[in-house]
Amino acid sequence: MSLTYRHILVAVDGSKEAEWAFTKSIEIARRNDAQLSIVHIIDNRALSTLTPIDSTLYNENEKFGEKLLQTYQKKAEEKGIKAETFIHLGSPKTAITADIAPKVKADLIVCGATGLNAVERLFIGSVSEHIVRSSSCDVLVVRTSKEFEDA
């Protein structure tokens, strides 16, 4: 049994909470000399009603995700952390634990306590709650601190 983390997965969606989770994941990766995998999930449930002709929303989401991941990867590498990125189409609740975490052999998943979709959280529960319940590895749910919001 290892007391260090080797493969850290951090989920990002553009929210302040995800930014704080990313910041914490960088520090954890540095302390453990771990590899960082940064994932952004494009929620396919919101896109399921689109016709093949109307792919604008998907393309916008993909461009947003790619830019977000490039920014985070650059920040990680500037801190000396080896980072890889993944953009994935699916349900954030299941994709993180069922698809991405096993693929990268994550031994720690870091995510924000809340994300961009507050309406979904009210009706069917949060992504972070689902990750905690279904993950086979350690999970760190990060709450944004007042100091971070003010920075």
| Cβ neighbours of 19 (radius 10 Å) | 19
The C-alpha angle with vertex 118 and arms to 43 and 28, in degrees rounded to 5, equals 75
Identify the pLDDT of residue 8.
Answer: 98
Give domain 7-150's CATH architecture. Answer: 3-Layer(aba) Sandwich (3.40)
Identify the pLDDT of residue 54.
Answer: 57
Describe the crossing of helices 56-78 and 16-32 by its angle, rounded to 10 degrees.
Answer: 40
Give the pairing type, strands 108-112 and 138-142: parallel
Residues 28-59 pLDDT 10s: 999 999 999 999 998 876 555 555 545 677 78
Closest of 27, 12, 9, 19 to residue 99, by C-alpha: 9
Identify the pLDDT of residue 52.
Answer: 58
What residue spans define the domains of the chain?
A: 7-150
DSSP 126: -
CA distance 48 to 50: 6
pLDDT at 136 over 50: yes
Residues 70-114 pLDDT 10s: 999 999 999 999 999 999 988 888 999 999 999 999 999 999 886
Q: What is the pTM of this model?
A: 0.84
